[in-house]
Amino acid sequence: MRIAFLTAPEGVEQVELTEPWQAVKDAGHEPVLVSTESGEIQAFNHLDKADTFPVDEVVGEASAGSFGGLVLPGGVANPDFLRMDGKAVSFVKDFFERGRPVAAICHAPWTLVEADVVRGRVLTSWPSLRTDIRNAGGTWVDEQVKICDHGTAKLITSRKPDDLKAFCGAFLQVFAETGG
């Protein structure tokens, strides 16, 4: 199964990209790096530049229909940039409209808020997003990982890098159950 990882050209938290990416590969799936621009993305270790990664597909040319699921890594700048890009927001929204599972960690739910897919859902995130999620009609909980079945697509969320093991296990299970 092909799994999309949507990131901005820079600002993604490296560990929130690389650990889920490796988990997807270890499970026998194909991770695909989708970004708003071609070339490479710049990852960060919090506020310090880290590694670069090659972009596989550009969001304006990618289709949610060609993926079994979507992973949204965090970092503060990454989702803030994505939520200002109409094509990225439409790409995310399309997964929900198609009933495809979406996994988001840390600050990544900001993009979900912009895509207007939070209403009626229960999710977790980095604590500073609590008010944004509530204002968008969602219910915020402080849990390591939260799986929400509300609506057409399952949503898997986690709070921070310390939750990555539980996050990866949960989204891989949901992705396998839905079969993409």
Q: What is the CA radius of gyration of the chain?
A: 14
Number of Cα atoms under 13 Å in the Cβ half of residue 139: 9
Could you confirm whether 106 is annotated as catalytic?
Answer: yes
Taking the C-alpha atoms of residue 47 and residue 147, their distance in angstroms, rounded to an integer, is: 29
Catalytic residue from among 15, 102, 103, 106:
106
- Where does residue 90 rank: exposed (0-12), middle (13-18), buried (19+ CB within 10 A)? middle
Q: Are 11 and 80 in contact (CB under 8 A)?
A: yes
What DSSP string describes 117-178?
--TT-EE---GGGHHHHHHTT-EE---SEEEE--SSS-EEEE-SGGGHHHHHHHHHHHHHHH
Q: In Å, what is the CA distance from 141 to each residue of 85, 124, 144?
A: 27, 5, 9
Catalytic residues: 106
